[in-house]
Amino acid sequence: MRGQGAEQLSSLLYISRSTILPRNADASVTNIVAVSLARNVEHGVTGALLFTGQYFAQVLEGTDAMLDTIMASILRDERHRQILVVVRDPIAQRRFADWSLAYFGPSEFVSRHVTRLLDNPPLPASRRSAEWLNDLLWEFSHGGGAE
């Protein structure tokens, strides 16, 4: 049970198309991870990031105010386009509590699921894809990644 005055935690899953040129991908994503780690630690945000080479998928957990701040920053970031918040729900506890930011480098395996979400499938299919992607990020974070 939350203490009196504690802010509600939420989990947010977004996906986006990357505008990063392949030759710049390593340096750009390394920069994203470094900046995100520092910001997340400072603001009590946890989560996981996946980069497929063409797409980003990220789960963020934190207060609603902090998630709004982070999403505003991502919306201004020229390395992202077609940003879509797939799921945003209140949570009782964090799934990624041990990770300021678990990062999983280029993965073509999940590209088709991200593409499916960006192509706006019917609601039941998008919810299933979002749940699958969220679970996949959680599985990756418990098998390796960078904190």
Burial of 108 (0-12, 13-18, 19+ CB in 10 A): exposed
Q: What's the pLDDT score for residue 2?
A: 43
Asked whether residue 90 carries a pLDDT value surpassing 70, the answer given is: yes
* Contacts with 89 (C-beta within 8 Å, 6 or more apart), sequence order: 10, 11
* Contacts with 3 (C-beta within 8 Å, 6 or more apart), sequence order: none
Instruction: Read off the pLDDT band of 146 (50, 70, 90).
Output: very low
Evaluate whether 104 touches 142 at the Cβ level (below 8 Å).
no
Asked whether residue 15 carries a pLDDT value surpassing 60, the answer given is: yes
Q: What's the pLDDT score for residue 99?
A: 85
Q: Which domains does the chain have, with CATH numbers?
A: 9-141 (3.30.70.100)
Q: What's the pLDDT score for residue 17?
A: 93
Alpha carbon separation from 68 to 12, 25, 53, 124 (Å, rounded): 10, 26, 26, 26
CA 97, 34, 32 angle in degrees (round to 5)? 100
Phi, psi of 81, deg, nearest 5: -145, 165
Average pLDDT on 39-61 reads 92
- Higher-confidence position of 115 and 131: 131
**Secondary structure class of 59 (helix, strand, coil):** strand
Q: What's the pLDDT score for residue 107?
A: 58
Q: What's the pLDDT score for residue 128?
A: 72
Asked whether residue 87 carries a pLDDT value surpassing 70, the answer given is: yes
